[in-house]
Amino acid sequence: MSSVLLKPATLVPLLLLVALAAVPVVARVTDQPFYLAFFARIIIYAIAASALNLALGFGGLVSLGHALFLGLGAYSVAIPAFHGIDNGWVHLLCCVLVCALVGLVTGAISLRTSGIGFIMITLAFAQMGYFVFVSLKQYGGDDGTTISATSKFFGADLGQVGTVYWVALSLLALVLWWMARLRVAPFGMVLRGTRQNPRRINAIGLRSTRYQLAAYVLSAVLCGVAGMLLANLTAFASPSTLTWMISGDLIVMIVLGGIGTVYGPLMGALAFLGLEEVLKMTTEYWMAVFGLAIVLIAVLGKAGIAGLLDSWGARRPRQRQVKQKAPAVVTAGEEI
């Protein structure tokens, strides 16, 4: 167990979680509330990327429409709040039920295809959701709507940045723990086998599409909860949350961090949003530099940041073994 924790691919993310737990203290000491809001956004997107990683990394479902569920989660807060409902449990119930139902219907239809067909259908559903919310002029239409009644649980208001930060960080830690357990559980192993060879999974009597659909629905609900947290953080909900570009950002985060890894989405979200923020402060042409940086990272580390840490951690024991097995130098006059 201790050797597993000492691996860089495990140790670095754990240190990142500890560092994230220290952010509120640093923000208070330095009197910089921006840090708290910025890292809260990173944590929320790490949750959304972890949700997509369940479908993409474990199940092999390349979805370009997961922004649909992020937006549904945001509007699960915005629409009840528009009517004066600030009960967080009502918001959460709406989020879970709507995302589960939409995920079940869209997933069942999308899984009738595969490859590029699956990608295009999920994209089409997300665009349909986008235009639905654009047409809802009562809730701001294309301009979005401000959330005046944020979610309240047991008197705690998620509209407070500090509160939503700790709730999001706790949820992220729980999601990462669950993903680590799921990865080696029978369901997760079947799901990963489906990604590699669905025909073989079907041949042993298991329905691969059922496992993929279950993963897709779970992923949709978890992504919706991330959208709910994001809406409380920004106190705003907009159809722009449902665009394909947001889905693309989530995929890039997973690729940067490491597809199919437990901690990859966290490291990918931190690298993606952190690099974006640094470049924004450095140059007005940050988008061009940002694109080149992502391409460079993807080319140099095909397995993502987690893969680089794994290879680094595996290289160190090999170097020790080589040093231990190195033959002694025989000097002249010595007997062999």
* pLDDT tens-digit profile, the chain (336 residues): 444 556 777 888 889 999 999 999 999 998 888 999 999 999 999 999 999 999 999 988 999 999 999 999 999 999 999 999 999 999 999 999 999 999 999 999 999 998 889 999 999 999 999 999 999 999 988 999 999 889 999 888 998 999 999 999 999 999 999 999 998 899 989 998 888 888 888 888 888 899 999 999 999 999 999 999 999 999 999 999 999 999 999 999 998 888 889 999 999 999 899 988 888 888 787 788 877 877 777 676 667 788 788 777 666 555 555 555 545 444 444 433
User: CA 106, CA 100: separation in Å to the nearest integer?
Assistant: 10
User: CA 205, CA 196: separation in Å to the nearest integer?
Assistant: 16
Q: Which residues are CB-neighbours of 291 under 8 A, at least 6 positions away? A: none
Full set of structural domains in the chain with CATH: 8-311 (1.10.3470)
Per-residue DSSP letter, 216: H
Residue with tokens 């997509």: 52
- Determine which helix (DSSP H) or strand (DSSP E) holds 97, and give its type and residue range: helix 88-110
pTM: 0.89
Q: What is the DSSP string of 50-84?
A: HHHHIIIIIT----S-THHHHHHHHHHHHHHHHTT
CA distances from 327 to 161, 321, 332 (A): 61, 12, 15
**Angle, nearest 10°, between helix axes 8-30 and 264-282?**
50
User: CA 161, CA 24: separation in Å to the nearest integer?
Assistant: 10
Per-residue DSSP letter, 281: H
- What's the pLDDT at 148? 87
